[in-house]
Amino acid sequence: RRLSILLSLIVSTLVYVVVANGLHLAPAMDFSEVLAAPLIGMPHLTAPRFNGHAAILLAPVALVLVAENLGHLKAIGAMTGRPLDHLTGRAFLGDGLATMLAASLGGTGVTTYVENIGVMALSRVYSTLTFAVAGLFAILLGFSPFFGALLRAIPEPVLSGLSVGLFGLIAATMVRVWVDNRVDFSRASTLFPVGVALVAGAGDLTFTIGSVTLGGIATATIAAIGL
């Protein structure tokens, strides 16, 4: 069970290679970048630079991430049977410190990822030590351009198929949270925000404000909070 995600990724990729590169029924996988990438290399680091315009545009997104992270905590609490509300502050602090550290080295901002929660639900492994070890391996693999090129070569249909399963597990977990908390869906005041948020998220309702794009998760969160 714990290897099912990795095995499905490998098998699906091999099937795609046969269908695309062998039978020519889909766009062929391009291995040129993988073959040209060195096994070991230094990541590209950039110095931080303050941009007031970007800061103003991105500041409201933090509110969306607060709601998103809180939802992730509740989902994990529902899966493990251990309420994690008392760890909310610690989770937000860790998220903020990690984002500051990543930005100081030219990396992107970090947040909790719903895909990881899907892996937890599927594997039933909830140990924090597991994620610490996974993070260490991710850092080490960051020094391998070959591994990065290998990940980029994975066909989009394969990743989309995995995402359907993982996001489906999260959606089912959130329904369990509603059931456990006895949410009354006979009330219009409950049905309306839930319905709008579900449509916005499932339909990937996207808005672009300047150089900032808000995807389905962000718009669904804003809709749920606003309504």
Render pLDDT for 156-186 as a digit per residue (tens, 0 to 9).
889 888 888 777 777 777 777 777 778 888 8
Phi-psi region of 51 (alpha: psi -120 to 50; beta: other; left: phi over 0): beta
Give the pLDDT of residue 94: 87
As a whole number of Å, the end-to-end CA separation of the chain is: 39
| Percent of residues, the chain, with pLDDT higher than 90 | 7
Q: Are 176 and 168 in contact (CB under 8 A)?
A: no
Per-residue pLDDT for 1 more than 60?
Answer: no
- Of the two residues 150 and 64, the one the predictor is more confident about is 150
Give the pLDDT of residue 146: 92
Per-residue pLDDT for 2 more than 70?
Answer: no
CA-to-CA separations, 126 to 81, 120, 182, in angstroms, rounded: 11, 6, 25
Give the pLDDT of residue 136: 92
